[in-house]
């Protein structure tokens, strides 16, 4: 097992605080831009890592800022190269996906090198699988592996963390907490989806359904076989219907990442021994201002019809190997650089008995690239700071569990709005 090979190195010996692995992909580049320009007066020492030295050097020369990174070479398929870079870092931030294909070798390298890990996966089934396989080794190594550090699922998880504190819910509180999060997107340039996200969805749809289900169950239970899965399933089913949101003042439908955010939020609550939870993850239904006018409504209906037709075709491509290979080739050539002028907000109303609170989480940048880069970079910097303070618990975890209020403070300082106010239930 991995435990036999763990290197007894201290993290004080590490050359770099953070190594960004997969730095030349869409999300990796955005994280590097953030680290190069947004760290302030006391930047950490960091490095970029990937397969192509030429691409990495081009990236470094384009970054600017006062915190230029070093260049390291590593390949997700070369275990020795992964171990070499893990041994030089306090934390490896990995942007190499799909993680269910490419993530485990670096996880193993971090465990052997006793190096912390962070990622932006939305593949909760993969995180559950990794925890089941390597949880004991992580505890033995004193390594913290923090997944889901981007748009999936920091806004929802941290909003519920803030709501729980505002409602003063203790670990022994037994009343049901009912919460609904509504995501609103402001994307003036039309937006887009990162290639990595599309490839991850394609990979998941083509995977073994039983394996996915086992991974989901392992994540939701967090290796506690006695934990009930029904509350998670109830929340996922509750997210699916159309509805009206009083706190957001709009019609809503299931958030496109509800299948990721719901189990993350439930796990986060379970880790604190908190009260039972019913959580719905929703987003604003895009509608024209004069939605009652058929002429204005037709374009929106056309968009929904196109999405409805595209989803079965995407699923078919995932199932049939020739179509999947063709789709992967197209995605390999596709790039979405993100939109700095965009923003998003998650509006959450949480009620428990006769008390209720509204939480606003607003973040600059589009969700997939710029927003995720801000969230992931601040999570990574927060984890490094917590390591220095000896404040990290080993094992597989999520951002709100690992960092809590410290992450709230970091994100506020970075330009996010995170506010809670009491409201009638």
The 10s digit of each residue's pLDDT in 6-49 is 555 556 679 999 999 999 999 999 999 999 988 877 789 999 99
CA 104 to chain centre: 17
Per-residue model confidence as pLDDT tens digits over 64-120: 776 789 999 999 999 999 999 999 999 999 999 899 999 999 999 999 999 999 999
- CB neighbours of 133 closer than 8 A, spacing ≥ 6? none
- Identify the pLDDT of residue 40: 73
- CB neighbours of 153 closer than 8 A, spacing ≥ 6? 122, 257, 260, 261, 264, 265, 398
Q: What is the four-CA torsion angle of 180, 189, 118, 234, rounded to 10 degrees?
A: 20
pTM listed for this prediction: 0.91
Backbone angles phi, psi at 282, to 5 degrees: -135, 165
Are 276 and 231 in contact, with CB atoms under 8 Å apart? yes
**Helical (H) or strand (E) element with 237:** helix 230-238
- Identify the pLDDT of residue 205: 74
Query: What stretches in the chain show pLDDT beneath 70?
Result: 1-12, 66, 171-174, 190, 223-227, 272-275, 287-319
- Identify the pLDDT of residue 220: 81
Count of H helices and E strands in the chain?
Answer: 16, 14
């Amino acid at each position: 097992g991995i435990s036999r090979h763990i290197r007894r190195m201290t993290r004080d010996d590490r050359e770099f605080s953070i190594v960004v692995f997969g730095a030349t992909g869409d999300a990796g580049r955005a994280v590097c831009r953030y680290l190069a320009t947004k760290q302030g007066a006391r930047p950490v020492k960091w490095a970029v890592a990937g397969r192509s030295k030429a691409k990495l050097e081009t990236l470094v020369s384009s970054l600017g800022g006062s915190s230029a990174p070093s260049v390291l070479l590593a390949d997700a398929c070369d275990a020795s190269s992964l171990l070499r870079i893990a041994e030089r870092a306090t934390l490896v931030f990995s942007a190499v996906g799909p993680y269910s294909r490419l993530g485990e070798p670096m996880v193993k390298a971090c465990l052997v090198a006793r190096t912390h890990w962070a990622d932006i996966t939305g593949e909760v089934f993969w995180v559950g699988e990794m925890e089941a396989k390597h949880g004991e080794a992580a505890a033995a190594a004193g390594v913290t592996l923090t997944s889901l550090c981007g748009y999936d699922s920091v806004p929802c998880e941290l909003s519920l963390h803030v709501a729980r504190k505002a409602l003063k819910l203790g670990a022994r509180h037994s009343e049901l907490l009912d919460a609904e999060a509504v995501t609103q997107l402001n994307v003036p340039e039309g937006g887009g989806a990162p290639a990595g996200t599309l490839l991850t969805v394609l990979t998941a749809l083509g995977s073994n359904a039983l394996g996915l289900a086992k991974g989901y169950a392992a994540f939701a239970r967090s290796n506690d076989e006695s934990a009930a899965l029904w509350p998670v399933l109830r929340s996922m089913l509750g997210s699916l219907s159309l509805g009206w949101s009083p706190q957001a003042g709009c019609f809503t439908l299931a958030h496109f990442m509800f299948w990721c955010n719901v189990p993350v939020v439930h796990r986060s609550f379970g880790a604190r021994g908190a009260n039972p939870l019913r959580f719905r993850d929703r987003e604003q239904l895009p509608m024209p201002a004069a939605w009652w006018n058929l002429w204005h409504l037709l374009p929106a209906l056309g968009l929904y019809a196109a999405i409805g037709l595209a989803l079965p075709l995407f699923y078919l491509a995932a199932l049939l190997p020739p179509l999947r290979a063709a789709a992967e080739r197209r995605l390999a050539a596709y790039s979405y650089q993100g939109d700095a002028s965009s923003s998003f907000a998650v509006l959450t109303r949480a009620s428990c008995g006769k008390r209720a609170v509204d939480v606003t989480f607003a973040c600059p940048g589009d969700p997939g690239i710029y927003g995720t880069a801000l969230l992931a970079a601040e999570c990574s910097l927060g984890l490094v700071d917590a390591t220095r303070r000896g404040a990290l618990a080993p094992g597989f975890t999520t951002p709100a569990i690992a960092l809590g209020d410290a992450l709230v403070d970091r994100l506020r300082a970075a330009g996010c709005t995170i506010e809670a106010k009491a409201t009638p239930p």
